[in-house]
Structure 1
Amino acid sequence: MFDAEVVILGMKLKASILALVIFAFISFGYAQENTASQKINVSVPEVALLGLVSETQTDVNLNAIAPDEAGSEVKITRQTKGSVWVNYSSVLSKSAKKRKVIAMVQGEIPEGVVLKVEASEYSGSGKGRLGKSTGVVTLSNQPSDVIVDIGSCFTGTGVNNGHCLTYNMEQDISSDNFALLSQAQKSVNVVYTLTDYN
């Protein structure tokens, strides 16, 4: 009976010593723990970049062709497939909700003709909230929306990224304006701007 009590007491003593050792290790581990923090400043700039790109050149030639039969009208050639692409990168400010691409003519369009442009729907390798074409737009010296609903995004660079532009020249079919048509060779600049909605 005495021996059993000694054994039990020894086991209790060993268990108590083991518990004390474990507690000491845990306390030592907590005592050695330390933390540090560092402030990281994150800044994202506002971005509004736009460019026109082409495999060859960005100039576009539109011509009227003289008729070969008396009584026929002058024929206007149309560029049905565009080769100029609009690329853009956009990161909105907190106050801006959307952006758009506007176009306006600098120079004088020959009287008796109308100059039009159409941006294709977006295609390419870009990401984000990319813009939407407004369809066929008649160009003038007043700004016209060509691509709208642009958010924070990028189109990808180069041809086959962004929106392809197609230009058309048409006769102004009203009699009064056709009467103003005269022999002319003029160059105009079409200026594109990426801008916030007003």
Structure 2
Amino acid sequence: MFFSLLSSVSLAQSDKAEHKINVTIPEVALLGLVSETDKAVSMQPLMATEAGEAVVLNEISNSRIWINYSSIISEATPSRKVVAVIQGELPEGLTLKVAASAFTGSGKGKLGTPAGLVTLSDQPTDVIVDIGSCYTGKGINNGHYLTYQLEKEDDENAYAMLSAQNTAVNVVYTLTDYR
């Protein structure tokens, strides 16, 4: 009986099959701007109220435009950043600055670090740096909000260059790779 049990166990067969699963995670670099109201920012100096006073140009607008982004980096591209450029001409004698807030919201991952208050120009300027694989969350109250400042240039003749006018410029943000 022992031998018959042993022989039936040894006659039992084992069968297995396998296949390979390839996992591909693509690089992702998406950026969007969202606003609580309108994406257009109006900047108008505080007018002088008494003779002899200057027009107040600093901290004209605290806009609540939010930058949202999604990023998956590769080994070849270990980090990303958000840069901004101005398209168009500011009135002579003025500079436009922007600061991104620290991240807030529902995002996860290696979120970027604000570069501080930076002066914008027609050349790319870092606004948020050191972005890894992450997402900020979607919509307002997620990501980094932007605060703009319009300032008189440091040149002693900058105020003399001011003239009454309406000017529109575009600020273009790009999520880009860097090492």
By the TM > 0.5 criterion, same fold? yes
Q: State the shift of 1:65 in Å.
A: 3.0
Larger RCO (CA under 8 A, 6+ residues apart): 2
Instruction: Provide the C-alpha distance between the structure 1 equivalents of 2:4 and 2:136, rounded to a whole number of angstroms.
Output: 65
Q: Could you tell me how far apart the structure 2 residues matched to 1:81 and 1:70 are?
A: 27
Secondary structure class of the residue paired with 1:175: coil
2:3 is the counterpart of 1:23: no
Q: Which has the higher helix share?
A: 1
TM-score by length of 1: 0.85
Give the corresponding residue for 1:190.
171
Unaligned runs of 5+ in 1: 1-16
- What are structure 2's unaligned runs of at least 5 residues? none
Q: What are the Cα deviations for residues 149-176 of structure 1, in whole angstroms up to 9, with x where unaligned? A: 0011111100111101011112224322
SS in 2 for 1:101: strand
Match of 2:114 among 110, 116, 133: 133
Cα offset for 1:177?
Answer: 1.9
**Alignment length (residue pairs):** 179
Q: Tell me if 1:75 matches 2:49.
A: no
For 1:193 and 1:148, the matched residues in 2 are separated by 12
For 2:63, what is the secondary structure of its paired residue? Answer: coil
From 131, 138, 150, give the equivalent of 1:150.
131
- Which structure is higher in strand share? 2
The aligned counterpart of 1:177 is 158
Provide closer, same or farther for how the CA distance between residues 57 and 141 of structure 1 changes in structure 2, counting only shifts above 3 A. Answer: same
**Per-residue deviation, 1:61:** 0.7
Where does 1:94-113 land on structure 2 (aligned, <5 Å)? 94-113=75-94
Paired with 1:79 and 1:70, the residues of 2 have a C-alpha distance of: 21
- Alignment RMSD (CA, Å): 1.5
